Amino acid sequence: MAAIGAFFSGQVNRVKDVANQQQALTRRQSASGQDFPGSGHRPADRKTWMAELGPERLRVHQVVWPGTHNSATAEIGVPFVTRPFAQCQSLSVYHQLATGCRLLDVRVQKDRRVCHGPLVASYTVDVVIDDVRRFLSETASEVLVLEVRTETDNPVLLVEPVTRRIHRFARFFIAQAFARGLGGKLQVFSTDFIDGDFVDACAGVTKARVDGAA
């Protein structure tokens, strides 16, 4: 019981820390703004945002890859019990790709079942492969990165409350990278609970690089 109490106490402290960080980030964002090269770009169709940039022009080193963290956890765990500690995405892998994600992070156990640390899904990595195949069969010029690795132990926390507090600062992070002269080093940008605006930001920087504006 003492161990359980310490675990939940740690979770509460983490949430408090994130709230304090959110206040600090809000102040900095208000002062600095969140504009960056390509920040106004919105793909006509996120499912084919790479094709819109022109496959004959786009180079791998120019891409800011919008990725998802623990990509295959949408259905992991028991709802309202263990799922809040393991779920990092609400969309299936296919729908993440259709939303514009181009880098997948998949953790599995040795029996090929998807996991997030000690929490294990009822499905295997085959679900991911099927979704990737479906997406690639529907597009002609999209490129994606699939990382699959074994994982047996990794700290878990209440993911959604933390993400909700920091998610809106994605554009601010990119703007700060450019403000500090580090925009050229942006390569992979991953998130929990990916959404369209996150993809648009990555696609915008990529377009600016293709156009020679970044």
The DSSP result for 6-55, as a single string, is HHHHHHHHHHHHHHHHHHHHHHHHHHH----TTTT---S-GGGHHHHH-T
At residue 4, the pLDDT reads 67
At residue 177, the pLDDT reads 96
Assess contact for 111 and 139: CB atoms under 8 A: no
* pLDDT in 10s for each residue of the chain, 214 residues: 666 667 667 667 777 776 787 788 788 888 888 899 999 999 999 999 999 999 999 999 999 999 999 999 999 999 989 899 889 999 999 999 999 999 999 999 999 999 998 889 999 999 999 999 999 999 999 999 999 999 877 777 778 877 877 888 999 999 999 999 999 999 999 999 999 999 999 999 999 999 999 9
At residue 3, the pLDDT reads 67
Assess contact for 41 and 203: CB atoms under 8 A: yes
At residue 26, the pLDDT reads 82
In total, the chain counts a number of residues equal to 214
Count of the separate structural domains present in the chain = 1
Domain that holds residue 188: 2-210
Assess contact for 149 and 107: CB atoms under 8 A: yes
At residue 5, the pLDDT reads 66
Is beta strand 145-150 parallel, antiparallel or unpaired with respect to 119-124? Answer: unpaired
